[in-house]
Amino acid sequence: LASAATTAVKSSIPIVRQGISSTKYGVVVSAGKMDKAVKVRIAGMEWNKQIRKAFPSPTHHLVSDPSNSLRIGDFVRIASGHRVSPSIRHIVTAIVSPFGAPVNERPPIPSPSAHLDSQIQARLLKDVRSAARGRKASKDRIKEARKQGIRIPSMEEAMANTRRMEREEAERTGAKKTGSQLLEGALSGRERRRLEREKTQGEREAEKGGKEEK
């Protein structure tokens, strides 16, 4: 069976938009300060027309490192055209020359197809939540993904990350409640309405049944 990335590329309507990609080589100058992200310096030269001489003029890019495999000093190959966040549009594709620990002792770097698969799944998780609230663009994208044979996550899978964030926030604030009421005392009215919209049909029926029993 073809992977989700291969199937999406063949389709005329891609699930995840891909920009024009180019390959660059550079040195990691900052790592460990951000999760799954490093700063890479790309060597370059700039011509000074007054002195008529070229001077070093490197550029720096924030690069996605999904496995936290890179260390300061690594010489790496990166690819552009991958929008991971508003400030990260490059991904690491290979460690050309490691600095410190050898490559086989580090977490493996995902292949471009694996990275595209993870982007598609992350996009569909958001679309499942948005489609439940009636967003037409998300419904159309889910329909297109289903045509391409890509597995559509369930609502429980789509809400798993939200539930996890709620639990972590509750642990930080010392809340004792569980489920959808983790942050009920600390949430604003707008946030409570958002949680109410994101409840599944089963959760609403369970709450309704509990109120009727009382």
Please write the tens of the pLDDT for every residue from 129-154.
Answer: 888 888 888 888 888 888 888 888 88
**Residue 102 and residue 36 share a domain:** yes
pTM of the model: 0.63
Q: Which range among 53-67, 87-101, 187-201 shows the weakest confidence by mean pLDDT? A: 187-201
- Closest C-alpha to 124, from 153, 86, 82: 153
**Residue 146 and residue 98 share a domain:** no
Helix (H) or strand (E) holding 161: helix 155-173
Max Cα distance, the chain (Å): 86
Q: What is residue 37's three-state secondary structure?
A: strand
**Residue 79 and residue 65 share a domain:** yes
**Residue 188 and residue 122 share a domain:** no
Q: Which domain holds residue 119?
A: 111-153
Residue 78 phi, psi dihedral angles, 5° rounding = -125, 160
Helix (H) or strand (E) holding 95: strand 88-97
Structural domain count, the chain: 3
* Cα–Cα distance for residue pair 93/65, rounded to 1 Å: 9
Give the pLDDT of residue 79.
92
In-domain check, residue 5: no
Please write the tens of the pLDDT for every residue from 2-54.
Answer: 455 454 444 457 787 777 788 999 999 999 999 999 999 999 999 999 999 99
